[in-house]
Structure 1
Amino acid sequence: MKIFRYIIISIGLFLVLFTWFFPQFFRCFFVEYDGFKEIRPHIFVESKTTKKQQDSLLRFVLQAEKRLVDFWGRKDGEAKILFCNTPQTYQKYAKTTEGAGFSIGTPLGSWIILNKDGLNTDVIAHEMCHDELMTRLGWWKTKQEIPTWFDEGLALMLDYRFVSSQDSIQRYIDYRTELSYLSPVPIPLNKLNTQKDFFGQGELYTKIAYFTSAVEVSRKISMKGKKEIFRIMNKTEKDGKFEF
């Protein structure tokens, strides 16, 4: 009986701690009981979503998946996509009203939360890239070793909202030009390592942070190709330490 009691206490403690660190996990995990329906494996929409919106979402997801495969070589990530049809629902799941999309990664599953503004290929591909990185490296190593600037800069390589050129050198030049419009000096990368650093300084600072990150990642790709990104990731996975 004591062993059984210890097991129950351990499970209870685990659930409390898990909920503390990942407060959205249980809401996302049981999304089908909160007014969502599954329209394709891993794709859920709020019940108020129209047929036209559903068709658009499926089309954009397919386009984003193709973009992901073109960059990564294959798709390993299996994040569930939740499309929220109202700002209130989006805030309930993403815990914010900002942005068109939001990724939630936990050791037991990942989710991509979209609002109406996220109904496009760029936002979905951006969030899928976050999930792909975490899937390949693992949740713990991604959270402990991968700086936010690298994660966000990499996601912008699949996001064509700001720079659309597919040529790696031109993409780097265009991002550098966009950054120069916002700030004559990029933000030092060591000040963009955490999400709090990256997103906690105001809207303009965050935008500069995005372009600073995109410049660094696109510069590396323009010089050595995408294989350099995979080399960095493989070394991080093997040695447990990120080096850019």
Structure 2
Amino acid sequence: MRCFFVEYDSFQEIKPNIFVEEKTTKKQQDSLLKYVESAEKRLKTFWGSKNGQAKIIFCKNLNTYQKYAKTTEGAGFSIGTPLGSWIILNQDGLNVDVIAHEMCHDELMTKLGWWKTKQEIPTWFDEGLALMLDYRFVSSQDSIQRYIDYRTELSYLSPVPIPLNELNTQKDFFGQGELFTKIAYFTSAVEVSRRISLKGKKEIFRIINKTAKDGKFEF
């Protein structure tokens, strides 16, 4: 995997575990560091701490992003393995929301371990949880209003949500076209935000902790 060798590729490490492609401007570097700091604060506010240690790789060129993320789609992409994790960003990913979103994926994997995350956590839960730290679509910090706003956004796209059992895998979630994926994102965000609005973040942590203990996800 190319990510393992980023230190030996055409990248510069501007801070521990933060790599930028050659010819990345000083302004872009400064923006990246600022957004990473803000994303970490957002992560700590939600989770209570930050334990994930994913390396961040900022790709100035789309071709480089494709080499690392194996896709040209999206502003950011997370890769998790038993031996390490990485957050790949392109120029569109140079903002706090994308970075916080990807950091949330890494934090969940760090809490549960790679194997349990891969085997037990459905994609809809992973993506819905990451959207709680991503304010691109819904910015309200009030849990009830956040749920209402996500439900409203979903209603613009589809009269009914996608059944969650049809969004369990990456292929289910991302493999059926751009509109389907967008509906899948909002369906997932509605489910996670609904649970938080009813019982608070502690309910999400209870589910995660129970999965860690019992090895089985139950929502």
Please give the TM-score of this superposition, normalised by the length of structure 1: 0.89
Deviating beyond 4 angstroms after TM superposition, the runs of 4 or more aligned structure 1 residues are: none
d(CA) in 2 for partners of 1:107, 1:96: 21
Say whether residues 1:165 and 2:140 are aligned partners: yes
Which residue of structure 2 lines up, in the alignment, with residue 85 of structure 1?
60
The alpha carbon displacement at 1:29 in A equals: 1.3
Which residue of structure 2 lines up, in the alignment, with residue 47 of structure 1?
22
Say whether residues 1:190 and 2:172 are aligned partners: no
Match of 2:185 among 195, 210, 234: 210
Q: Could you list the per-position Cα deviations for residues 127-179 of structure 1 after superposition, in whole angstroms to 9, with x for gaps in the alignment?
A: 00000000000000000000000000000000000000000000000000000
Which residue of structure 1 lines up, in the alignment, with residue 75 of structure 2?
100
* Secondary structure of residue in 2 paired with 1:165: coil
Match of 1:136 among 111, 114, 119: 111
Say whether residues 1:179 and 2:122 are aligned partners: no
Match of 1:221 among 181, 196, 218: 196
d(CA) in 1 for partners of 2:191, 2:102: 19
* Secondary structure of residue in 2 paired with 1:156: helix
The alpha carbon displacement at 1:34 in A equals: 1.1
Q: Could you list the per-position Cα deviations for residues 165-222 of structure 1 after superposition, in whole angstroms to 9, with x for gaps in the alignment?
A: 0000000000000000000000000000000000000000000000000000000000
Say whether residues 1:74 and 2:25 are aligned partners: no
d(CA) in 1 for partners of 2:74, 2:195: 27
Which residue of structure 2 lines up, in the alignment, with residue 11 of structure 1?
none
| Counterpart residue type for residue 177 of structure 1 | T
d(CA) in 2 for partners of 1:42, 1:171: 33
Say whether residues 1:146 and 2:121 are aligned partners: yes
d(CA) in 2 for partners of 1:32, 1:106: 18
Say whether residues 1:62 and 2:44 are aligned partners: no
d(CA) in 2 for partners of 1:31, 1:239: 36
Match of 1:121 among 88, 92, 96: 96
Which residue of structure 1 lines up, in the alignment, with residue 11 of structure 2?
36
| Counterpart residue type for residue 140 of structure 2 | S
* Secondary structure of residue in 2 paired with 1:113: strand
| Counterpart residue type for residue 204 of structure 2 | I
Q: Could you list the per-position Cα deviations for residues 41-96 of structure 1 after superposition, in whole angstroms to 9, with x for gaps in the alignment?
A: 11000011000000000000000000000000000000000000000000000000
What value does the CA root-mean-square deviation take over the aligned residues? 0.4
Number of residue equivalences: 219
Larger radius of gyration: 1
* Secondary structure of residue in 2 paired with 1:157: helix
| Counterpart residue type for residue 72 of structure 2 | T
Match of 2:176 among 189, 193, 201: 201
